[in-house]
Amino acid sequence: MVGGGVVKVAASGTWYPDEGSRAPSGEVHAWQPGQNSTLCGVPLRRAGLARFPHVDFADVDPLTGGSADAVRWTCPKCVAATGGRRGGRRWERVDPRP
């Protein structure tokens, strides 16, 4: 969790597995519901990213995640902002643009 909120997924594509539910594909970023940009600062609308409020960001990790079958790239800044895969130092945007 970042700043007390739940971290979900925003992705460049949508994939429909056999269960019929929507799953993220392509490039994946961390996103907090209610925000218009990802944790690394990419604006959702301008980048054409689809929101996946039903998928936790931890589930798109290719090593452990269940929703990672069609994920091709995970944003390293978003991984760092969520605590990283190794639990290292968090990345934080300083002086964000308005």
Asked if residue 96 belongs to a domain, the reply is: no
pTM of the model: 0.79
Asked if residue 73 belongs to a domain, the reply is: yes
Asked if residue 31 belongs to a domain, the reply is: yes
Domain count, the chain: 1
DSSP string, 47-90: HTPEEEEEEEGGGG-TTT-SS-TTEEEE-HHHHHHTT-SS--PP
pLDDT of residue 46: 92
Q: Which domain holds residue 67?
A: 8-81
Give mean pLDDT in consecutive 10-residue pieces for the chain, a chain of 98 residues: 75 86 91 92 93 90 75 89 64 67
